[in-house]
């Protein structure tokens, strides 16, 4: 964590920022090692150019924060104390003149912005998101280890879902079987709401699982991930229940071809845009160009969506150490929806897939 704090401090010096205050669960975790969802209570890491950083959290979480490895100052406030007064007093002791503050503009709400402004009237606020995203984009060995484990658990979750499929079982019942098994494995948090969609419901890329029962001839789509020690996985598999028709088969094979072509192209120096276009072209060539309405993929780490974004306009060059998804899909309303998604790690020469559930069409 010290290394990360120092990189942020160096950036602050070049930008003449005297105080950075990070407040999202993920960025606090990235900088402090402490991952917590404080609900409506304030959680934040304060960083200065040269002075000692601090963590502010509810008093009842101070022990956990220390146990997570944070060995700088902790401001713990009770439910009847005002954390902003305590932050102001803490900073006053450091004798700093603060006129530019970096915050997560997309996260700091108006009430908190006003509280911070009142402490340092007239100061300018700059966005810290881009810098943190850049820092988080290249994973170190420890992060990779956790991402690998999260991906293995996601593979196991897919297998659990496949095993649960039978005639007449509902999407939500299959979902419950998956999450029950994950809990038994010690996973307390999924990285987003698990999706189990059957038949025509899968033709919506962001469909919501419900009471629909799985029937013979359906394609069943699973999209899920787990959080393992703060790191997220994200996998999609689409399987067949009983015999499916030629159209469904064609859609599946097209998505698979697009996914494999994009994965085969991953290596340092290739742009995000090139990857997206390889998959998009494969799908267009098969006549389904109008049915792939989203980007090819997204970075993965402490957040389930982070940099790099794999879009058809992103000129960013891939680098060793990046981790992102590749997830082409074809969604034909009233017919079928198929998506196949893996988590890729960029190596020196190419890509390593962290997720490994088989992609040859599975028949249940
Ligand atoms: Mn995804
Ligand atoms: Mn997904």
Q: Over its length of 364 residues, how does the chain's per-residue pLDDT go in tens digits? A: 899 999 999 999 999 999 999 999 999 999 999 999 988 999 999 999 999 999 999 999 999 999 999 999 999 999 999 999 999 999 999 999 999 999 999 999 999 999 999 999 999 999 999 999 999 999 999 999 999 999 999 999 999 999 999 999 999 999 999 999 999 999 999 999 999 999 889 988 888 999 999 999 999 999 999 999 999 999 999 999 999 999 999 999 999 999 999 999 999 999 999 999 999 999 999 999 999 999 999 999 999 999 999 999 999 999 999 999 999 999 999 888 999 999 999 999 999 999 999 999 999 9
β strands within 59-122, DSSP E: 73-77, 100-103
pTM summary value = 0.94
Q: How far apart are CA 57 and CA 47, in angstroms?
A: 15
Query: What's the gap in Å between 235 CA and the centre of ligand 1?
Result: 7
The alpha carbon of 212 is separated from its chain's Cα centroid by a whole number of angstroms, namely: 28
Q: What is the structure's pLDDT at 205?
A: 80
Query: What's the gap in Å between 296 CA and the centre of ligand 1?
Result: 9
Helices (H), 228-327: 246-264, 272-285
Q: What is the structure's pLDDT at 327?
A: 98
Query: In sequence order, which residues have a C-beta less than 8 Å from that of residue 335 and are 6 or more positions away?
Result: 200, 203, 247, 248, 251
Both structure tokens of 186: 């010690």
> How many CB atoms are closer than 10 A to CB 89?
11
Query: What's the gap in Å between 207 CA and the centre of ligand 2?
Result: 12
Contact 330, 254 (CB under 8 A): yes
Query: What's the gap in Å between 234 CA and the centre of ligand 2?
Result: 5
The alpha carbon of 268 is separated from its chain's Cα centroid by a whole number of angstroms, namely: 21
Q: Using CA of residue 23, residue 25, residue 26, residue 30, what is the dihedral sign? A: positive
Query: What's the gap in Å between 238 CA and the centre of ligand 1?
Result: 14
Query: What's the gap in Å between 295 CA and the centre of ligand 2?
Result: 12
Ligand nearest to the CA of 294: 1
Query: What's the gap in Å between 287 CA and the centre of ligand 1?
Result: 24
Ligand nearest to the CA of 224: 2
Query: What's the gap in Å between 150 CA and the centre of ligand 2?
Result: 13
Contact 258, 265 (CB under 8 A): no
- Phi, psi (degrees; rounded to nearest 5) at 64: -65, -40
Query: What's the gap in Å between 236 CA and the centre of ligand 2?
Result: 5
Ligand nearest to the CA of 235: 2
For 266-283, b/e burial (b = at least 16 CB within 10 A) is beeebebbbbbbbbbebb
Q: What is the structure's pLDDT at 158?
A: 98
- Over its C-alpha atoms, the chain yields an Rg (Å, rounded) of 23
Q: What stretch of H or E contains 150?
A: helix 141-164
Query: What's the gap in Å between 329 CA and the centre of ligand 1?
Result: 11
> How many CB atoms are closer than 10 A to CB 201?
19
Contact 177, 185 (CB under 8 A): no
Query: What's the gap in Å between 194 CA and the centre of ligand 2?
Result: 9
> In the 8-state DSSP scheme, what is residue 289?
G
Ligand nearest to the CA of 295: 1
Query: What's the gap in Å between 165 CA and the centre of ligand 2?
Result: 20
Query: What's the gap in Å between 39 CA and the centre of ligand 1?
Result: 25
Both structure tokens of 196: 């189990």
Query: What's the gap in Å between 316 CA and the centre of ligand 2?
Result: 22
Ligand nearest to the CA of 298: 1
Ligand nearest to the CA of 158: 2
């Amino acid at each position: 964590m010290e290394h990360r704090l120092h990189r942020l401090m160096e950036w602050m010096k070049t930008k003449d920022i005297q105080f950075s205050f990070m407040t999202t669960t993920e960025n606090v975790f990235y900088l402090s090692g402490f991952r917590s969802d404080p609900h409506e209570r304030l959680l934040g890491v304060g960083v200065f150019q040269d002075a000692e950083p601090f963590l502010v959290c509810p008093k009842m979480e101070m022990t956990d924060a220390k146990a997570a490895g944070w060995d700088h100052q902790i401001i713990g406030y009770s439910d009847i104390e005002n954390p902003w007064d305590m932050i102001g007093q803490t900073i006053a002791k450091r004798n700093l003149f603060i006129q530019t503050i970096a915050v997560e503009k997309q996260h700091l709400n108006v009430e908190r912005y006003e509280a911070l402004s009142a402490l340092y009237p007239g100061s300018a606020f700059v966005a810290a998101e881009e810098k943190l995203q850049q820092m988080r984009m290249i994973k170190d060995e420890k992060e990779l280890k956790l991402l690998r484990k999260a991906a293995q658990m996601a593979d196991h979750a897919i297998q659990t879902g496949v095993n649960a499929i039978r005639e007449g079982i509902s999407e939500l019942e299959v979902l419950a079987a998956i999450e029950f098994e994950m809990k038994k494995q010690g996973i307390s948090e999924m990285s987003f709401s698990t999706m189990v969609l059957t038949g025509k419901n899968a033709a919506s890329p962001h469909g919501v699982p419900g009471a629909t029962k799985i029937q013979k001839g359906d394609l069943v789509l699973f999209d899920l991930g787990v959080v393992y020690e703060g790191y997220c996985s994200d996998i999609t598999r689409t399987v067949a229940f009983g015999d499916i028709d030629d159209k469904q088969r064609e859609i599946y094979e097209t998505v698979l071809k697009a996914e494999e072509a994009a994965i085969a192209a991953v290596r340092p120096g290739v742009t995000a845009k090139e990857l997206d276009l390889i998959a998009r072209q494969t799908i267009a060539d098969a006549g389904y160009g109008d049915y792939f309405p989203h980007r090819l993929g997204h970075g993965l780490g402490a957040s389930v969506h982070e940099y790099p974004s794999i879009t058809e306009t992103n000129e960013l060059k891939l680098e060793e150490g990046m981790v992102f998804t590749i997830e082409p899909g074809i969604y034909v309303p009233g017919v079928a929806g198929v998506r196949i998604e893996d988590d890729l790690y960029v190596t020196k020469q190419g890509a390593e897939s962290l997720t490994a559930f088989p992609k040859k069409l599975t028949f249940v």
